[in-house]
Amino acid sequence: MDTRPRARRPLVAALLAGCLGLIAAPALADGPIVIKFSHVVAANTPKGRAADRFKQLAEERTKGRVRVEVYPNSTLYKDKEELEALQLGSVQMLAPSLAKFGPLGVKQFEIFDVPYMFPNAEFLERIEDGPIGRKLMAALEPKGITGLAFWDNGFKVFSANKPINVPADLKGVKMRIQSSKVLEAEMRALDAIPQVMAFGDVYQGLQTGVVDGTENPWSNMYTQKMHEVQKYAVDTYHGYLGYAVIVNTKFWQGLPADIRTILEGAMKDATAYDHEIARKDNDEAMDAIAKSGRTTIIHLTPAQRAVWEQALAPVRKEVAGRVGSDVIDEIVKEQASIAKH
Ligand code: LMR
pLDDT digits (tens, 9 = 90+) for 158-168: 999 999 999 99
Distance 280 CA to ligand 1 centre (A): 18
CA end-to-end span of the chain? 83
CA of 78 to the centre of ligand 1 (A): 10
pLDDT at 201: 97
- Average pLDDT of the segment spanning 147-168: 98
The overall average pLDDT reported for the chain is 92
CA 186 – ligand 1 centroid, Å? 17
Mean pLDDT of 301-322: 98
Exposed/middle/buried for 259, CB within 10 Å: 0-12, 13-18, 19+?
A: middle
| Res. 29 pLDDT band, cuts 50 70 90 | low
Atom of ligand 1 nearest to the CA of 214: 3
In this structure, the strands spanning 232-234 and 296-298 are parallel
Query: Cα(63)–Cα(305) distance, rounded to whole angstroms?
Result: 50
Summarised one tens digit per residue, pLDDT across range 173-197 is 999 999 999 999 999 999 999 999 9
Nearest to 330 by CA among 83, 130, 107: 130
Indicate if the pLDDT at residue 77 is higher than 80.
Answer: yes
Over residues 222-227, mean pLDDT: 98
Q: Global pTM?
A: 0.90
What is the rounded distance in angstroms from the CA atom of residue 166 to the CA atom of residue 311?
Answer: 9
In angstroms, rounded to a whole number, what is the distance separating the alpha carbons of residues 35 and 148? 14
Q: Give pairs for 56-64: CB < 8 Å, separation 24+.
A: 57/265, 57/266, 57/269, 57/270, 58/262, 58/263, 58/266, 61/262, 61/265, 61/266, 62/259, 62/262, 62/263, 64/32
Instruction: Name the residue among 295, 318, 263, 322 with its Cα closest to residue 92.
Output: 263
Atom of ligand 1 nearest to the CA of 215: 3
| Ligand 1 pocket by Cβ (under 6 Å) | 40-41, 47, 97, 153, 178, 199, 216, 220, 241
Instruction: Give the model's pLDDT for residue 341.
Output: 75
